[in-house]
Amino acid sequence: MDIKHAFTILIVDDNIVNLKFMEKTLEKEGYQVITTDNGADARTLAMEKRPDLILLDIQMPGGDGFEVIRFLKGTLVTSTIPVIFLTGMTDVNSKLKGFELGAVDYVTKPFHPLEVLARVAIHLKLSIATNSLIANQAMRLKEITEAQTSMLPLPKDFPQAKFGVYYNALHEAGGDFYDVLSISDKITGYFVADFSGHDIKSSYMTASIKALLAQNSNPVYSPLETMKMINDVLMEILSKNKYLTACYARLNRTTGNLCIVSAGHPPVVLVPVTGDPQLIQVDGDVLGMFKDAKFGVHRMRLNPGDRFFIYSDGLVESTRQKITWNTGAQTLLTKFKKIRHLPLSKTSSALVKSLFSGGAVPEDDIVVLCVEV
Amino acid sequence: MIEYEPLFPGAAMNFKAMASKLGFSLEDFIELVQLLITTSQSELLTVEKELAAGSSAGVSRAAHSIKGAAGNLGFMHMADLAREMETLANQGNTGNMDKIKKKAAALKADLDLIKKAGDKGY
């Protein structure tokens, strides 16, 4: 017969009689009990043993209960453990302070064992329900991540598009998105976008953007028209203050013509076979914010072997170091000397690696799309 | 001056009923009572020392401890005495020292009664 997991309760009370009283009360109902008579040990035991619930006296030597709960709630591994105050205090302010600091309940002394047992049981049930909810939400977020990733095309699936990609979402619901569209045999569209925020809504929006791109990218529409049509739809479906920066590049491999449309996005980097890398700075409004948005357009002719990079601001921007993508993009150019001759499949990740080699840590989602003509 | 009635006026101390009320076995309850006696005696010694030193804070702490333990086990008379001692101590009035001493004496008498009852196996 399986023995069910026994819940562990940590009791903290400087009164030995009360401690024993509570220990006996809980042990006879099948709980595993750990006890201590001071706040300092309570902190250590809570971190080491990770009890399912803590019964905590307010007035104790070595830091009162308020200090202990402040520590527990501020410590990652103990922050979710429900804490019930054991208190002789009857004044409302003490109780409110306890709740404010994160206590789930209190028991006023003298307490009756049955009352304590009832309160412990109800808060364990709530804790179980909350943990189950969290596990469920984590699973759903994982599904969103998987769904989001499955929407991103891989180079091996589109060999004619000749691209390499690096994609890393910092959160389960990423805010960056890219797509590669076969408009005709020789014409390919490359799209990179960055949603404001990383919430769940953004992750659902990526599916909408992908559908809009597929509907509005064809040989008849110019890249600018495609972006304008997407903008019109986004104006209807995006919530207020929600927008995205985006870059849409369309390459015709027969003519070598490249058309770049920018919606408030960091500049494309051109790495020609001969000559120095250069930024293609194109100004434009963001997508989904203005009805009559003006997008920047840049047209140029490329040669076989030339490469261009479209990326999200997470590659060059740093809030901590106060670097905006405008200034960050300038430093980007120096990194291409070493990576320009790498195989296409390795270039994007090599670029990211070179930028974050000195201990710097990405602060945002990153997508880097490298395309070869 | 408030004179206190004996701990359990007109009735024998019934540990079995008290244990049952709290959901404990008699054996467990007696173990807790013995612990209460030991710790309360120790706290009363502390009260004496703190009174001699004129420390009302120390008296308050010790009385608070007795109050909680006695109350939880159902010895409400004893808990009330301890609560009154704590209140007097918290007033920080040196004139309260005699009152505290009298209440401590009454509390000690309660403890003796409980101890005797325990010795008789109630």
Among A26-40, A165-179, B104-118, name the one with the lowest average pLDDT.
A165-179
How does residue B13 score in pLDDT terms, banded at 50, 70 and 90?
A: low
Cβ distance of B67 and A88 shorter than 8 Å:
yes
CB contact B35 to A (< 8 Å):
yes
Could A110 and B24 be called an inter-chain contact, meaning their C-beta atoms sit closer than 8 Å? no
Pairing mode of beta strands A32-36, A53-57: unpaired
The beta strands (E) that lie in B42-118 are given as none
Q: Would you call B113 helix, strand, or coil by DSSP?
A: helix
- The pLDDT assigned to B5 comes to 41
Q: How far is A54 from chain B (nearest CA, A)?
A: 19
Residue B59 CB: number of other CB atoms within 10 A?
A: 27
CA–CA min distance A17, chain B (Å): 6
* Residue A113, preceding peptide bond in cis (omega within 30° of 0): no
The residue with tokens 């017969």 is: A1
pLDDT 10s digits, B80-114:
999 999 999 999 787 888 899 999 999 999 999 99
Cβ within 8 Å, pair A18-B72: yes
pLDDT score, position B9: 44
A24/B68 touch (CB, cutoff 8 Å), yes or no: no
Question: For residue A344, which phi and psi values (nearest 5 degrees)?
Answer: -55, -40
Residue A138's pLDDT band, with cuts at 50, 70 and 90, is low
d(CA B85, CA B113) in angstroms, rounded, equals 19
Assess A15–B contact: CB distance below 8 Å, yes or no. yes
The Cα A59–Cα A70 span in angstroms is: 14
% pLDDT > 70, chain A: 88
For residues A307 and A280, what is the distance between their CA atoms, to the nearest angstrom?
A: 13
SS3 per-residue string spanning A82-103: CEEEEECCCCHHHHHHHHHCCC
**What are the helix and strand counts (H, E) for chain B?**
5, 0
The angle formed by the CA atoms of residues A24, A30 and A87, to the nearest 5 degrees, is 45
Integer Cα distance of A234 and B41 in angstroms: 78
Query: Cβ–Cβ of A16/B39 closer than 8 Å?
Result: yes
Distance of CA A196 to CAs A137, A248, A296, B113, Å? 22, 17, 20, 74
CB pairs below 8 Å between A and B: how many?
51
Q: Which residues of chain A are within 8 Å of residue B79 when distances are taken between CB atoms?
A: 110
- pLDDT higher at A17 or B120: A17
- pLDDT 10s digits, B35-87: 999 999 999 999 999 988 888 888 998 998 899 899 999 999 999 999 999 99
- Please say if the pLDDT value at position A199 is more than 70: no
Q: Stretch A340-366: mean pLDDT, rounded?
A: 82
> Vertex B120, ends B116 and B122: CA angle to 5°?
100
Q: Across the interface, do A17 and B79 touch by the CB < 8 Å criterion? A: no
Neighbours of A239 (CB within 10 A): 8
State which H helix or E strand residue A227 sits in.
helix A223-237
Q: Which residue of A has its CA nearest to B27?
A: A24
Q: If you measure CA to CA, which chain B residue comes closest to A116?
A: B22
Please, which pLDDT band fits residue B1 given cuts at 50, 70 and 90? Answer: very low
Domains, chain B, in order of start with CATH, read: 25-119 (1.20.120.160)
Nearest chain B residue to A14 by CA distance is B65
The shortest CB-CB distance from B35 to any of A20, A110, A114 is to A20
Residue A80's identity, in one-letter code, is: T
Average pLDDT, chain A: 85
pTM of the predicted structure, to 2 decimals: 0.56
- Residue A17 and residue B36: Cβ atoms within 8 Å? yes
Strands A83-87 and A105-108 turn out to be: parallel
- Say what the ipTM of the complex is: 0.84
User: A49 is written with which tokens?
Assistant: 């043993």
Residues of B in contact with A108 (CB under 8 A): none
Binning pLDDT at 50, 70 and 90, where does residue A127 land?
confident
Q: Determine contact: B78 vs chain A, CB below 8 A.
A: no
Which helix (H) or strand (E) segment is B30 a member of? helix B26-53
